A and B are shown apart, each in its own frame.
Chain A
Amino acid sequence: SYELTQPPSVSVSPGQTARITCSGDALPKKYAYWYQQKSGQAPVLVIYEDSKRPSGIPERFSGSSSGTMATLTISGAQVEDEADYYCYSTDSSGNHRGVFGGGTKLTVL
């Protein structure tokens, strides 16, 4: 079955740039979406269709995609950005099933 691969953890100091990657064979053909999940809360969409930012999401969040890798970038990470981040996309094999990456724990300290 189709898989998206993320690093388990990323750590940065406040004000630094955090980059979280997501790799998958179908990403050249399918959009990536990124979700932030803080402890005990529902996920929140932070990037859709590879690089678009929903209203209300700070400008420091950006996304890009090239080849089989999508990247979420947090420029000038803040302590409040500490959370789990998940990428999401769909299979291109014809069944169009959804799949989440395993998640990346971002630590900002």
Chain B
Amino acid sequence: QVQLVQSGAEVKKPGASVKVSCKASGYTFTSYGISWVRQAPGQGLEWMGWISAYNGNTNYAQKLQGRVTMTTDTSTSTAYMELRSLRSDDTAVYYCARSSVADTTGLDYWGQGTLVTVSS
């Protein structure tokens, strides 16, 4: 069965960076992409970006351009999302979701979420 298992909760200070991992199993990793979505406390879902696990192509939300980098390690079927220059409003639960290999559609299976808290 398809599973996405994310790394554990993080507490970071403003200005620091965080890197969240998402380990996939139960399917051929390079036949799909991975999208990242976050949810601030009490708020809705926010699309952050997408990476193709086939060729590494990326597509980032405009508001995060320059602060976010998404990568994959095909040898371990793991996707990573790094967010830099953290601010208090980056406090959120971060989710990875399996997506189409070619574009930003088709988020079907989701990870359990990783809480990132940014606080001084």
Q: Which residues of A contact B46 (CB under 8 A)?
A: 100
B17 at the binding interface (Cβ < 8 Å): no
Interface of A is mostly: strand
Chain B contact patch, size range: 20 to 34
Q: Which residues of A contact B50 (CB under 8 A)?
A: 98
Q: Which residues of B contact A99 (CB under 8 A)?
A: 47
Report whether B110 and A98 are in contact in the complex, using a CB–CB cutoff of 8 Å. no
Report whether A48 and B106 are in contact in the complex, using a CB–CB cutoff of 8 Å. yes
For B35, B44, B109, the residue with the greatest tally of chain A CB atoms inside 10 Å of its CB is B44
In the complex, A7 Cα to B112 Cα: how many Å?
27
The distance from the CB of B4 to the nearest CB of chain A, in whole angstroms, is: 9
Q: Mark B26-50, 1 if CB is under 8 A from A, else 0.
A: 0000000001010000001111001
Contact of A97 among B44, B45, B104, B106 (CB under 8 A): B104
A102 at the binding interface (Cβ < 8 Å): yes
For window 14-35 of A, CB contacts with B under 8 Å fall at: 31, 33, 35
B107 at the binding interface (Cβ < 8 Å): yes
